[in-house]
Amino acid sequence: MAAARKVSDSETLMTHRALPEDANPAGNVHGGVILKHIDLAGAVCAMRHARMGVVTASIDRMEFKAPVHVGELMLLYASVNRVGKQSMEIGVRVVVENLMTGELRHAASAYLTFVAMGPDRKPAPTPDLILETPTHERRNREAEMRRKLRLEERQRERQAQESEKISHGNP
């Protein structure tokens, strides 16, 4: 497995200027367009950490906080928060810049989990993560809490599904 990598080694900034084809008739960028760019920025960050291909496994806590308008610049900041055996949580923050006034606002945030894929197209080990700052340490702790909650939720869902199968006699 590759040597551990620092958070700063894979931090990613991508930009996208919102164009008319990105928006609805009111001039607001569609959430799906923003989500596409979040996924792309997250994937680039994950690939920079793993130095191999990745696939999106899940998206958590997708929050739209402010609209993005045609003509504005989306700045997508992506950073590795946590690394598991084959997966990584990437946090992506979208800041919008009004290019005429310089005004900045927080438009969206999300946490995405990516799985590293080896040359055989199967999940592969990812390098460990070196946390460099107190912010990185906090993000790592929060990512671990989100992971724990996801696993607990999946377990509750499985139990509910099994209970439903038993009570209805379904296989």
- Mean of pLDDT values over 110-126: 96
**If you average pLDDT over each of 10-14, 21-25, 148-152, 159-163, which comes out highest?**
10-14
Contact 56, 42 (CB under 8 A): yes
- Mean of pLDDT values over 51-61: 95
**What's the pLDDT band for 164 if we cut at 50, 70, 90?**
confident
- Mean of pLDDT values over 84-97: 97
CA separation for the pair 22, 109 (Å, rounded):
18
Q: What per-residue confidence (pLDDT) applies to 103?
A: 97
Residue 86 has pLDDT above 90, yes or no: yes
Q: What per-residue confidence (pLDDT) applies to 113?
A: 97
Q: Read off φ and ψ for residue 117, nearest 5 degrees.
A: -120, 125
Domains delineated in the chain: 5-131 (3.10.129.10)
Q: What per-residue confidence (pLDDT) applies to 89?
A: 98
Average pLDDT taken over every residue of the chain? 94
Residue 129 has pLDDT above 70, yes or no: yes
- Mean of pLDDT values over 134-146: 96
